[in-house]
Amino acid sequence: MAKSEKQAYDEFIKGVWRENPVFVQVLGMCPMLAVTNSAINGVAMGMATFFVLMGSSFLVSLLKNLIPKQVRISCFIIIIATFVTVVDYVLLATLPGIHKELGAFIPLIVANCLILGRQEAFASRNTIRMALADALGMAAGFLFALVALGGIREILGEGKLFGISLFGDNFEPWVIMILPPGGFITLGLMLLFFNWLEEKKKKLDAQVAATEGSDL
């Protein structure tokens, strides 16, 4: 039991950091850039994706022995589309303001390659428990990326975070950041930062290996 506990935890952490869907795998770019002009929209989109990913991973993993191999992709897409329709209607009924902000990008969660990718690569070959751990990790990683990007763009573009003013009246908003070009450039710079971290880590590892080698 303890071992499977650790394994599940491992799958979770993998999604959040080591194989972060946005910064490392570069998946799910369209919804990522389109809705992140504020942190709150990022949270809403992240939660919607979270629900869809958990639901479809659970169902796919449950039905993995019933779905014929040849038509599996179509089956996955229909399962995902069902959950997305549920989210769409629930948001419309409970949070109409958010639903209006996100607009057509809620139905477009279907086309998020992150979700289909997890079904094909993970949920359809693992137990329900592992599939849920993996979905939880990937969704958390996606949420983290959305909120980080949305937060940066909102702070620079409006001087606010979650709608709370940060800098007072003297701040001149950097409007371009909440417009489309700002999305591209901010994400580009964030990826650059992650590349830099990776590079640095590699150098450090090489250094450690070299010093260990000389000690022997």
179 in contact with other proteins (CB under 8 A): yes
| Residues contacting other proteins: total by CB under 8 A | 39
Nearer of residues 85 and 127 to other proteins, judged by Cβ: 85
E strand map for the chain: 160-161, 164-165
**57 and 132 Cβ atoms separated by less than 8 Å:** yes
183 in contact with other proteins (CB under 8 A): yes
What secondary structure letter does DSSP report for 109? Answer: G
Which DSSP helix (H) or strand (E) runs through 116? Answer: helix 113-121
d(CA 204, CA 18): 17
Which span sits near other proteins by CB under 8 A: 136-144, 152-160, 166-174, 195-203? 195-203
54 in contact with other proteins (CB under 8 A): no
192 in contact with other proteins (CB under 8 A): yes
d(CA 207, CA 184): 35
Nearer of residues 192 and 204 to other proteins, judged by Cβ: 192
97 in contact with other proteins (CB under 8 A): no
Nearer of residues 83 and 144 to other proteins, judged by Cβ: 83
24 in contact with other proteins (CB under 8 A): no
d(CA 99, CA 58): 25
d(CA 33, CA 148): 12
Candidates 13, 54, 67, 111; binder of other proteins (CB under 8 A) is 111
- Hey, what are 187's tokens? 């994400």
Backbone angles phi, psi at 165, to 5 degrees: -70, 135
139 in contact with other proteins (CB under 8 A): no
Binding site for other proteins (CB under 8 A): 26, 29-30, 33-34, 74, 77-78, 81-82, 84-85, 88-89, 103-104, 107-108, 110-113, 116, 176, 179-185, 187-189, 191-192, 195-196, 199
